[in-house]
Amino acid sequence: MDWWDVLLVVVRVVGVFALLMVVTVLLVWIERKLVADMQNRLGPMRAGPHGVLQTVADGLKLFFKEQITPAKSEFLIYMLAPALSVITAFLMFLVVPFARPFDITLGGEVRSFTFQAMDLNISVLYVLAISSIAVYAVVLAGWSSGSKYPLLGGVRATAQAISYEAAMGLSLVALIMFIAVQNRGGDVMSMASIVDFQAGTYGATDGFLSFLNPIITHIPKWFILPQVIPFVIFATAGVAETNRAPFDLVEAEQELVAGFHTEYSGMRFAMFFLAEYINMFTMSALMVTLFFGGWGGPFLDTIALNVGPWLATVVSFGYFMAKVFVFLFLFIWIRASFPRLRYDQLMDLGWKRLIPGALLWLIASSLALAIRQFGLPWT
Amino acid sequence: MMGIIGDLLKGMGVTGRQMIATIFGDGMITTEYPKEFREKPDRFHGRHVLNRYEDGMEKCIGCELCAGACPARCIYVRGKENPADAPVSPGERFGFVYEINMLRCIFCALCVEACPTEAITMTHLFEMSTTNREDAIYTKTELLINEDGSANHMFPDDRLANLSELLQADGWMRATAPQGRVEYEGIPGWTPSAGVGLRPPEVGQSGDAAARDFTLPDDATSPEVQPDEEE
Ligand code: SF4
Ligand code: SF4
């Protein structure tokens, strides 16, 4: 560890911050445009070509707005809650690798420059932990506002978080178990190695399916194929975790004004807004990393070998963003299509479908993995 | 379970189709107002004008029927005896003070229905935002049309004022048999109005342009029912 390492860490963190800010600005615009298209409207058109700068304009407006503090609020918590929500949103993205690492020589030493602010060997647990803390921001914001609608929003957030985080965690347990059996001895919970595990395609089989080999050898080894059910559960819980429609009971406009952030204005409101979009991006990035091969894609090694590692990095970043955008598009599409769930339906889906589904899958897949490893008990 | 998923996909199909229609087809139903103006329906209820006859006389006779009919109670009229040497309107009296509070008006056009002389009609003008409440009270200065038939705009220099719509006060409304002839019973017609002259009478309340070409009955020879050739 020398000064170059410190510098690299700083560069990475600043880079991730910049990436998230740019993505948020674009994402808000893209969402407004797409929802407008789905509703036969124009959407923002004025600020910049086709309204691309609308988010910047809105941000500036919010920046100069008065920050109202309700008389009955718990001021310290009221003020800290938005900060907590933004901080957790940024923290969550830190472990996501978003491009192919390459080697650079600095200070006479070859170092690997990774596009990931930090690679924990418990990244998956870290993500779950941070996403639980993020719920506190919502709950505390609702409670400390000293007003009824936000409080209701906060209470709903608690119940929703408990129900969906359980399902999310369980779905990841099955995934991690699968990875651990496949890649014995690897860093099974580090995001960087999870991406590496998914590199390449399936090998040719010599079983009765061998006639499919021309196809099989072109299917990437992404975890989505063996783990469809955990993915569906993770994605559903992810939408619920980010409090987006149709699970946005926390800020249900029609019932709760604006839910937990009713009493917030100016920059404090903007922080919640920012956090929501960062979370949406992070959730999509996590789905891509855990189930769709992360930044991996075809020809990366060829490019790195023939043209240069830098181009492979750029291309891999393109792959990553393209995949993430597919999920962001889904997020937006779902929001534009479905009405909000009723509260009992939300609980129904969480406790009666997702959690039992995740548990069943966990049991079934552990049995399958055990049988594959040790054979049937009576043989 | 499968049914639910099918329903969800069906819902997403609807929005997806609309999105494709909007981006690639002609699904877009909004326009970029005020850059683009949309053709308004003929009978659009915009703000009011007070009309004049062709010779410049005001149509309003200060009878206050409009004020009585107004459900929002937003019209104030005070009539005044016409000066004998320079009459303002053909009747005994004329509308001396005439005010409409546009903040209260619900644009129901009951005033237009009530008016016996078609003095008050509605136009296609709708850009009426103001920055204070006084400006929302339209007085006779703004309401009365000019001698050439163009409407007065409260803020002619405003960015939102669509001046092309000021040129013709359309005076488009019910007007049953102003000619007072039995053949026209139940058929909307017009009184001559400044800037428009006498419009051809119409059959029915709606219908296409061809249907509006109402041919007069053979005995309809009195000059005031002929369509004005100059328009
Ligand atoms: S349109 Fe209706 S509400 Fe408005 S002034 Fe006329 S009668 Fe009153
Ligand atoms: S506008 Fe018509 S109804 Fe109203 S006072 Fe004048 S003549 Fe009478």
In chain A, residues with a C-beta closer than 8 Å to the C-beta of B11 are 337-338
As a residue count, chain B comes to: 231
Nearest CA in chain B to A35: B19
Instruction: Kindly give the distance from the C-alpha atom of residue B221 to the centroid of ligand 2, in angstroms, as a whole number.
Output: 30
- Please tell me if the CB atom of residue B74 comes closer than 6 angstroms to any atom of ligand 1: yes
For residue B75, the ligand 2 atom closest to its alpha carbon is 4
| Confidence class for position A98, pLDDT limits 50, 70, 90 | confident
Q: Is the ipTM of this complex over 0.90?
A: no
In chain B, residues with a C-beta closer than 8 Å to the C-beta of A337 are 8, 11-12, 14-15
CA distance A327 to A335: 12
Using CB atoms, which residue from B18, B22, B32 is nearest to A45?
A: B32
Q: Which of residues 319-358 of A touch B (CB under 8 A)?
A: 333-334, 336-338
Instruction: Kindly give the distance from the C-alpha atom of residue B90 to the centroid of ligand 2, in angstroms, as a whole number.
Output: 13
Using CB atoms, which residue from B8, B18, B30 is nearest to A38?
A: B18
The answer to whether A49 contacts chain B (CB < 8 Å) is no
The answer to whether A360 contacts chain B (CB < 8 Å) is no
Q: Which residue puts its alpha carbon closest to atom 2 of ligand 1?
A: B108
Contacting residues for A328 by C-beta, under 8 A, at least 6 apart: A27, A30, A280, A281, A284
Instruction: Kindly give the distance from the C-alpha atom of residue B48 to the centroid of ligand 1, in angstroms, as a whole number.
Output: 9
Q: CA Rg, chain B, in Å?
A: 22
Q: Which residues of B touch A (CB under 8 A)?
A: 8, 11-12, 14-16, 18-19, 21-23, 27-32
- Please tell me if the CB atom of residue B109 comes closer than 6 angstroms to any atom of ligand 1: yes
Summarize pLDDT for A128-187 with one digit per residue, the tens: 899 888 888 888 988 898 888 888 888 888 888 888 888 888 888 888 888 888 777 778
- The first and second tokens of residue B55, run together, are 């010779």
What one-character DSSP code corresponds to residue A184? T
Of B193, B60, B43, the residue nearest B108 (C-alpha): B43
Proximal ligand: closest to the CA of B63: 2
10 Å CB burial of residue B83 (0-12, 13-18, 19+) is exposed
Give the pLDDT score at B106. 93
Pocket test for ligand 1, best of B104, B106, B121 (most atoms within 8 A of CB): B106
Q: Which positions of chain B have pLDDT values less than 70?
A: 1, 42, 156, 158-231
Instruction: Kindly give the distance from the C-alpha atom of residue A162 to the centroid of ligand 2, in angstroms, as a whole number.
Output: 68
Under a CB-based contact definition with an 8 Å cutoff, are residues B171 and B121 in contact? yes
In chain B, residues with a C-beta closer than 8 Å to the C-beta of A36 are 22
Question: With left for phi above 0 and alpha for psi between -120 and 50, is residue A266 left, alpha or beta?
Answer: left
Under a CB-based contact definition with an 8 Å cutoff, are residues A141 and A154 in contact? yes
**Terminal C-alpha separation, chain A:** 53
**The residue to which tokens 């009195």 are assigned:** B222
Is pLDDT larger for residue A110 or for residue A16?
Answer: A16
**Nearest CA-CA distance, residue A364 and chain B, Å:** 20
Under a CB-based contact definition with an 8 Å cutoff, are residues A236 and A125 in contact? no
The amino acid occupying position B55 is: D
Q: Do the chains contact at A41 and B28, CB–CB below 8 Å?
A: yes
Under a CB-based contact definition with an 8 Å cutoff, are residues A355 and A166 in contact? yes
Using CB atoms, which residue from B8, B16, B29 is nearest to A40?
A: B29
Summarize pLDDT for A225-274 with one digit per residue, the tens: 888 888 989 998 888 888 887 888 888 778 888 888 888 888 888 998 89
CA distance A323 to B220: 77
Summarize pLDDT for B113-151 with one digit per residue, the tens: 888 888 888 877 788 888 888 888 888 888 888 877 777
Q: What is the average pLDDT score of chain A?
A: 85
Q: Do the chains contact at A37 and B12, CB–CB below 8 Å?
A: no
What is the Cα B207 distance to its own chain's centre?
Answer: 18
For residue B65, the ligand 2 atom closest to its alpha carbon is 3
The per-residue DSSP string of B134-169 comes to: GGGEE-HHHHBPPTTSPPP-S-TTSTT--GGGGS--
Nearest CA in chain B to A45: B32
- Please tell me if the CB atom of residue B103 comes closer than 6 angstroms to any atom of ligand 1: no
The per-residue DSSP string of A14-68 comes to: HHHHHHHHHHHHHHHHHHHHHHHHHTT-----SSSGGGTTHHHHHHHHHHTS---
For residue B45, the ligand 1 atom closest to its alpha carbon is 1
Summarize pLDDT for A34-84 with one digit per residue, the tens: 999 899 888 888 888 888 898 899 889 988 988 888 888 888 999 899 999
Of A75, A89, A61, A130, the residue nearest A270 (C-alpha): A61
Proximal ligand: closest to the CA of B107: 1
Angle made by CA atoms A229, A233, A238, in degrees to the nearest 5? 145
The amino acid occupying position A173 is: V
